[in-house]
Amino acid sequence: MCGAEREAASRGGASASVEDRGTPAPAADPALLDDLVAANRILAHYGVVDAFGHVSLRHDKDPGRFLLSRNMAPGLVTREDIVEFDLEGAPVDARGRRVYLERFLHGQIFKARPDVRAVVHSHAPDLLPFGLVEGVELRPVWHMAGFLGAFGRDSVPLFEIRDSAGPASDLLIRDNALGAALAGSLGAAPVVLMRGHGATLVGESLPVAVFRSVYTKMNADVLLRALPLGAVTYLTPGEAEATTETNGSQIRRAWELWKREVGSAP
């Protein structure tokens, strides 16, 4: 560790080497590890993540564990970079490799939502305007993103970190208390916006979480282009529910294409 890194770690910088805790679960299905690597690359390809952001998968052999890359750009992740964590965000087999500071958001969402098997965290700028301007909500305007208005609410919930961390935080989910607060704002929704930061998206599988991430970003882009033109027609709650049900059977189609496009190792 160089001097600057040591200083960053001492004040709680954006990444750190953390001591391992516990013993590893039985080995995860290799096909799922390959899917997690592919998810990292697909999300990078579609601009959901860049050098920052991350995607996790609940462990298939132990629901109290999840799999997440070590601290690195998602587009460069390989199977060897995947680390196992417990739901408190403690690494099991990092072996000194630096881990993401915001790993707590993954663990706390997996803890709060037994139905969730994959979590994506994004800083995509297309999503940021929603949650910054009073009265402007992220709502579905396109059938591919009907899920944004399904699950019992017609817009995406917003996490305001000032409610938990006060007016001078760095906006990052840097501990389990903030992770739990974020999970509380997410509730039963598929997506939660994070004011001034980005968004976190979930799914009952990795393909579903990736599909929602890609189409949330695209819906935001369409809506940003429509808003200056005049009054926007959003999907009705009924349309949101119906399109979500229809698209549910089509997600593999997108997943197979995306894996072929960008999912293989460089």
Tell me which residues are annotated as active site: 102
> For residue 225, which of 155, 142, 131 has the smallest C-alpha distance?
142
Distance CA(133)–CA(185), nearest Å, equals 18
User: In terms of C-beta density within 10 A (0-12 exposed, 13-18 middle, 19 or more buried), how is residue 237 classed?
Assistant: middle
* 199: enclosing H helix or E strand: strand 198-203
Q: Tokens in use for 211?
A: 């599909």
Three-state secondary structure call for residue 159: strand
Contacts (Cβ under 8 Å, ≥6 apart) of 190: 147, 148, 150, 151, 201, 202, 203, 212
Distance CA(105)–CA(69), nearest Å, equals 14
- In degrees rounded to 5, what are phi and psi of residue 242? -65, -40
Residues 120 and 210 sit within 8 Å (Cβ to Cβ): yes
What sign results for the dihedral spanned by CA atoms 161, 186, 174, 131? Answer: negative
